[in-house]
Amino acid sequence: DAKTTQPPSMDCAEGRAANLPCNHSTISGNEYVYWYRQIHSQGPQYIIHGLKNNETNEMASLIITEDRKSSTLILPHATLRDTAVYYCIVRVGGNAGNMLTFGGGTRLMVKP
Amino acid sequence: NAGVTQTPKFRILKIGQSMTLQCTQDMNHNYMYWYRQDPGMGLKLIYYSVGAGITDKGEVPNGYNVSRSTTEDFPLRLELAAPSQTSVYFCASSHHTGNTIYFGEGSWLTVV
């Protein structure tokens, strides 16, 4: 799986959009970009994934650059409950047998 | 559905003791995983299983054993507990064609 690089921490004001960047310059053509988050003391939670098109679901939006070397997770209206560590992972999709490799992630702090 | 259930949630072991962390899932998932997470770090894969009767080592298998006699259950055994095994342990599962991995709530283990 390709390596990802994320900033170690970010702050965001409550109610504003949180934009979390991820670099994955060595991503392969068949690798998807996945985002998980881990709220303190809980198990990681799946957020969203995509291959090359932008994706949106009830939790977030995922913007992938045209060259696929970077992506941004957007939480449109961050709340205090969105405070968590966010992990960006690239891996081959549709084959859940591939091991997930979690790096350090970005610690997002949403402030009142 | 209960999802992925782990027991116990907290446990203190003495050096050299043995114990089993239990994990069960009710989603009929083929794939199951055990991860450990040390303080402030990302998750590391210990063992995984692609189906009943099949197990494989992950990134950090030393000191652990697993079995997969049924689709639902994937216990993790520590034979001779060591202080280095103090960590939070997460069990997870996924469908073999799916992209989403579901995590349990974690088991906090302290070896003293």
- Is the Cβ of B50 closer than 8 Å to some Cβ of chain A? yes
Please report, as a single letter, which amino acid is at residue A109: M
Cβ(A58)–Cβ(A46) below 8 Å: no
Which of A52, A51, A49 has its CA nearest to residue A61? Answer: A49
**Of residues A44, A45, A99, nearest to B58 (C-beta):** A99
Q: What is the mean pLDDT of residues B74-84?
A: 96
Q: Which residues in chain B have Cβ-Cβ distances shorter than 8 Å to A49?
A: 99
Per-residue pLDDT, B40: 80
The tokens for A51 are 């291959």
pLDDT confidence tier of residue A98, bands split at 50, 70 and 90: low
pLDDT tens digits along B1-35:
679 999 999 999 999 999 999 999 999 999 999 99
- Is the Cβ of A99 closer than 8 Å to some Cβ of chain B? yes
Q: Is residue B84 helix, strand or coil?
A: helix
A41/B99 touch (CB, cutoff 8 Å), yes or no: no
Q: Which of B39 and A47 is assigned the larger pLDDT? A: A47
- Phi then psi dihedrals of residue A25, to 5 deg: -70, -20
Which of A24, A17, A14 has its CA nearest to residue A103? Answer: A24
Q: Which of B98 and A76 is assigned the larger pLDDT? A: A76
